[in-house]
Amino acid sequence: MPHPSLQDLLDRVHVVALPMRVRFRGITVRELALIDGPAGWGEFGAFPEYEPPEAAHWLAAAIEGAYQPPPPGRRDRIPINATVPAVDAEQVPDVLARFPGARTAKVKVAEPGQALADDVARVEAVRALIPTVRVDANGGWGVDDAVQAAHALTATGALEYLEQPCATVAELAELRRRIDIPVAADESIRKAVGSQAPLAVAKAGAADIAVLKVAPLGGISALLQIAEQIGIPVVISSAIDSAVGIGAGLHAAAALPELPHACGLGTGSLFVEDIAETPPQTAGYLPVRSVTPDPARLHALAASPQRRQWWIERITACYAHLG
């Protein structure tokens, strides 16, 4: 469908600031622009360091969510992994308590300023409480460091996979040849949108699993197309989304032909407050549903006028790059 006019888009925007329980990805407040559209709500939350050409994919996803209905689903509930930020090992039980029934946990590792020993301690603390553990390095290791970390992190138990252990496709491919742990690609796929590069991960034999996120890939339709083309198992994950973005991720996961792994869509528990009441996890699952923000929460969580204007200007800049 054609894009709505810029003015129609801006007339529908609500900008919110969601306080977080712990620092995650370097932030303690998550700002987002929500779009109240004719088909539902869309979410635009590209991180500040993303320049307009890349952030435009996030805007396209928000437009799709606001102006088009979600695709038909194949399942009505989605298995969810717990998400453990780069906290001290002593904080792990409190974090995991927010994910009742979860049987899988994703643990952040390779945090700047921390050592491998911190990662090992955090993973061990998680492993004591959750049977299946995966780690996410956000490209923070070189190949040799990743090999060392893989051995250290599996000294007392298995890992389901290493997510984006190294930054480049070539490094991921080399690492896969040197370790027995499955490798998952995230940034190598989502930062390559707009070219054939997302498929380069599969062609290079650089990953066993693809971690896909609705917003950075340009929407549910684009994600499903990439999932079909890439030809390896898929995990749907969040980009620190509000309840609206989580709803889109759940619809994407529901539409996949197969879903062999738990999805990273339980990050709503990282917020002190969200724009809608989120459904409780039941036995490690979330129900598939679209989300309508609570008007009272939209008002209470509204960003300052200055920050609203910043997001309006950002949407305007990104709109010029929509395909």
Which active-site residues does the annotation give? 108, 213
Which H helix or E strand runs over 286?
strand 285-287
Q: 136 labelled as ligand-binding?
A: yes
- Residue 154 CB neighbours (<10 A): 16
* Surface-to-core class of residue 117, CB atoms within 10 Å of its CB (0-12 exposed, 13-18 middle, 19+ buried): exposed
Q: 313 labelled as ligand-binding?
A: no
- Residue 184 CB neighbours (<10 A): 30
Which H helix or E strand runs over 305?
helix 305-319
Q: Closest Cα partner for 265 from 283, 285, 282? A: 285
Handedness of CA 271, 272, 278, 282 (dihedral sign): positive
Angstrom distances, CA of residue 301 to CA of 17, 26, 59, 274: 6, 20, 21, 8
Strand partners, 50: none
Helix (H, G, I), strand (E, B) or coil at 42: strand
Please count the CA atoms within 13 angstroms of the CA of 196 that sit on its side-chain side: 3
Q: From the centroid of its chain, how far is CA 18?
A: 16
Rounded to whole angstroms, the Cα distance separating 22 from 57 reads 27
CA 101-139-229 angle, 5° bins: 75
Please check whether residue 18 is in contact with residue 274, taking contact to mean a CB–CB distance below 8 angstroms. Answer: yes
Please check whether residue 296 is in contact with residue 258, taking contact to mean a CB–CB distance below 8 angstroms. Answer: no
Q: 186 labelled as ligand-binding?
A: yes
DSSP letter for 267, please. G
Strand partners, 17: 31
Cite the annotated binding site for Mg(2+) by residue number.
136, 163, 186
Cite the annotated binding site by residue number.
136, 163, 186
